Amino acid sequence: MASSTRQKISVRAILLDLDGTLVHTAPEIASAANKMLQALAKPRLDPLQIQSFIGDGAQMLIKRCLMEQTHAEPDAAEWAEAQALFLKFYAENAAQSRPYPQVVAGLEAMQKAGYALACVTNKPASFTLPLLQANQLDGYFSVVVSGDTLTKKKPDPAQLLYICEKLHITPEQALLIGDSNTDVQAARQAGCYVFTVPYGYNHGLALNADASIAHIGDALNLLH
C-alpha cells in the first residue's frame, strides 16, 4: 500500500465512488455505448477507449463517443437520439456489473468499525440503485447520491456537502474513496479527505490524494 498520509486521520463517515471503485462497470458501459454507435451507423470503439471516458457522467461519456471520429460537437438531434439509445441499451445490462475483489469485505469491515457509509456517483439513479441492489450492496449505505440527485455532480462539491449535511457531520469528518481526479477535485473543494484506488478507470492514481490504497478496506489502516 502506497500512502502520502504521514499520520492517521480521524473521520466519522466514508463516502465511496461507484464505477471503478466499488463495481467494475466498464464492460457493460462499453457494450451499451458500442450498440449506440452501431445504431447511429458510426464505427465501434475499443472498449478500453470507452472505459477511459468513464467518470464524468453518462452525458459526457456519450458526447466523447460521438466526438471521437468527428472531433466536433454533435448536433441537437443526434445528441438527443444518442442519449436515448445509450440509456435504452445500458438499462438492459447495467445490473450485470459485479463488485471488485475485496469490496464486500471492505464494506463489512468499515461498517463493523462504526463508520457511516455513503455512495456518491455521477451515474443516474435509474442505474445506480438497481446495480447496488443486484449486488446486495445497498444495505451498507445510509445515503446514496446519484448523478441526478442534485443539479450538480462531481467534480463539483455539492454531492459531498449534501451527504455531510444528511449525516450531520462537517466535511472535515468525511473521507471520500474514489478512482479519479474527478473524485479528488470534488473532495478538495468540499474540504473532505480523499483516498484513491489504483484499479479504477481513466485517472487511476491522482497525485493530489491524501493516500493511495490497494483496496477500499485498506483505508481502515490509515484511520483512527
Q: Where are the domains of the chain?
A: 13-24+98-222, 26-96
* Selected catalytic residue, list 17, 179, 183, 218: 17
Q: Which of the 8 DSSP states describes residue 37?
A: H
Write the CATH number of the domain with boundaries 13-24+98-222. 3.40.50.1000
pLDDT the model gives residue 205:
57
pLDDT the model gives residue 83:
96
| Fold assignment, 26-96 | DNA polymerase; domain 1 (1.10.150)
What DSSP line would sit under 52-102, residue for residue? TTTTS-HHHHHHHHHHHHH-SPPPHHHHHHHHHHHHHHHHHHGGG-EEPTT
pLDDT the model gives residue 1:
41
pLDDT the model gives residue 57:
83
Q: Are 21 and 197 in contact (CB under 8 A)?
A: yes
Q: Within a 13 Å sphere around the CA of 171, how many CA atoms are in the beta-carbon half? A: 15
Q: Are 195 and 209 in contact (CB under 8 A)?
A: yes
Q: pLDDT (tens digit, 0 to 9) for every residue of the chain, 224 residues total? A: 444 445 799 999 999 999 999 999 999 999 999 999 999 999 999 999 999 999 888 899 999 999 998 888 889 999 999 999 999 999 999 999 999 999 999 999 999 999 999 999 999 999 999 999 999 999 999 999 999 999 999 999 999 999 999 999 999 999 999 999 899 999 999 999 999 999 988 655 566 899 999 999 999 999 99
Torsion angle, alpha carbons of 196, 83, 90, 181, to 10:
0
Burial class (CB in 10 A: 0-12, 13-18, 19+), 83: middle
17 is catalytic: yes
Distance, CA of 206 to CA of 108 (rounded, Å): 26
Are 13-24+98-222 and 26-96 equal in CATH topology? Answer: no
CA-to-CA dists, residue 124 to 34, 68, 77, angstroms: 19, 23, 22
